[in-house]
Amino acid sequence: MAPPYETSAASESPAPVVTVDVTAASDLITSAGHRYVDVRTEEEMGKGHLHNSLNVPFMFITPQGREKNPLFVEHFSSLVSKEERVVVGCQSGKRSELACVDLMAAVSSSVINQWIDMSVVCV
């Protein structure tokens, strides 16, 4: 298995990632107009995902284990404008938190991490 992912800002003190629960995230998406970006793999998305969500995998599953998507920020930036407000989610919250750290370091959009219980939010 690949070594655990470390952010490039590990030695610095990155801005804290705002984490919200499923209910708050749902309110942000439906009422406040936030865009939902799911950072799970395409295979995981195939098992269920939120309607109108974007998929930008943060990691890929390779024969060596999970490896970070080297083009994650570029792919994200090509789909989401810097002015948009975004909720980033995954299955457990770990990948989305790492993704938020990278996005906050590279993109000036407002990103919020969400932990998802797929049985509750998936439509």
Q: Mean pLDDT for each consecutive 10-residue tract of the chain (123 residues)?
A: 44 64 83 89 89 92 93 92 86 88 75 53 26
State the pLDDT at residue 9. 43
Question: Can you give the residue range of the structural domain that contains 80?
Answer: 31-121
Instruction: Identify whether 10 is part of a domain.
Output: no
State the pLDDT at residue 107. 62
The question of whether 90 is a catalytic residue gets the answer yes
Q: Which of 90, 100, 103, 104 is catalytic?
A: 90
Number of domains in the chain: 1
Instruction: Identify whether 24 is part of a domain.
Output: no
Q: What is the CATH number of the domain that holds 51?
A: 3.40.250.10
Q: Which of 74, 81, 72, 69 is nearest to 34 (CA)?
A: 81
| pTM for this prediction | 0.74
Instruction: Identify whether 6 is part of a domain.
Output: no
Phi-psi region of 52 (alpha: psi -120 to 50; beta: other; left: phi over 0): left
State the pLDDT at residue 108. 58
